[in-house]
């Protein structure tokens, strides 16, 4: 575990365990590198070097007032990968982290990245626009902004229900998973979480997806209530040059946690493909 200081003085916290080919995990909003516990342990046991950082303003990284946009997030990752001298790396991003992965790989990853994985990712574009008419109305993201800025403590508690599909009939609700999501969220800065809503909803990753040359695996749950798979995964798979799409009936947005065995199996298979 350690921290690096990036160009603007922000400290980025990271965990770095093991040896072998590096896998870098990029977390979703409003969480931290701890959201990858199930994957970190699994791939460490498989002989990989596993790294997970806390995005600026999130988790244990500096609670900066500025820089909560995808270009800065990707630049922070570039500084981290350079500091750790990561080469032949696999970058795996969940939700907002998927956007971070594809922006980093497209802009900074040349010569350092072997493969990329987008899990329940926000790519290519979430918000409804004239060019993206089937996107999610801005009013939905405005509601997230209001909940985050005025009632974060309770809003984050409530958000876990749809995030993990715990609002579905017959769901096996884990209070520990819900509490851990809330813990991660409340550790981060409210300003960072507020600003990140714009970053994950309004950033257009179309050109990033088109410009990535490495193999890309796209995994998405078909019952994702946070990031609908037809709006994101299906479109993203058509934009990448060398992509593979796997969707899972009934799986929720938070499937790396609730369906870790399945997700880890498919991640490992992709990583081992020649």
Per-residue pLDDT, 274: 83
Residues of the chain with pLDDT under 50: none
Tell me which residues are annotated as active site: 95, 224, 253
**How far is C-alpha 37 from the chain's CA centre?**
14
End-to-end Cα separation, the chain, in angstroms:
31
Full-model pTM: 0.98
DSSP annotation of 9? S
Per-residue pLDDT, 152: 98
Per-residue pLDDT, 1: 74
DSSP annotation of 127? B
Number of domains comprising the chain: 1
H-assigned helices in the chain: 37-45, 70-83, 96-108, 138-163, 175-187, 190-202, 206-211, 233-239, 255-258, 260-272
Per-residue pLDDT, 155: 98
Residue whose tokens read 């303003």:
57
Per-residue pLDDT, 183: 98
Instruction: Check: CB of residue 190 under 8 Å from CB of residue 63.
Output: no
Share of the chain above pLDDT 90, in %: 99
Q: Domain of 57: which CATH number?
A: 3.40.50.1820
How many angstroms separate the CA atoms of 96 and 93, rounded?
7
Domain boundaries, position 22: 2-272
Instruction: Check: CB of residue 223 under 8 Å from CB of residue 249.
Output: yes
């Amino acid at each position: 575990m350690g921290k690096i200081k990036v160009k603007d003085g922000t400290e980025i916290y990271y965990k770095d365990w093991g040896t072998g080919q590096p896998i870098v995990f990029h977390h979703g909003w409003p969480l931290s590198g701890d959201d990858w516990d199930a994957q970190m342990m699994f791939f460490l046991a498989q002989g990989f070097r596993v790294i997970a950082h806390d995005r600026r303003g999130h988790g244990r990284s500096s609670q900066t007032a500025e820089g909560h946009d995808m270009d800065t997030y990707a630049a922070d990752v570039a500084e981290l990968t350079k500091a750790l001298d990561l080469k032949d790396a696999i970058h795996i991003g969940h939700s907002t982290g998927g956007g971070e992965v594809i922006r980093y790989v497209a802009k900074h990853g040349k010569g350092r990245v072997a493969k990329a994985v987008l899990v329940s990712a926000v790519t290519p574009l979430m918000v409804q626009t004239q060019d993206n008419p089937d996107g999610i109305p801005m009013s939905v993201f405005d509601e997230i902004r209001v909940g985050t800025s005025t009632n974060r403590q309770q809003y984050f508690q409530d958000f876990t229900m749809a995030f993990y599909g715990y609002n579905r009939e017959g769901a096996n609700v884990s209070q520990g998973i819900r509490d851990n999501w809330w813990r991660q969220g409340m550790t981060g800065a409210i300003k960072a979480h507020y600003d990140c809503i714009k970053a994950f909803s309004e950033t257009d990753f179309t050109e990033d997806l088109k410009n990535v040359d490495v193999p890309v695996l796209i995994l998405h749950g078909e019952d994702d209530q946070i990031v609908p798979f037809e709006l994101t995964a299906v479109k993203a798979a058509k934009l990448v040059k060398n992509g593979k799409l796997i969707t899972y009936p009934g799986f929720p947005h938070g499937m790396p946690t609730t369906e870790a065995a399945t997700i880890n199996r498919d991640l490992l298979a992709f990583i081992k493909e020649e």
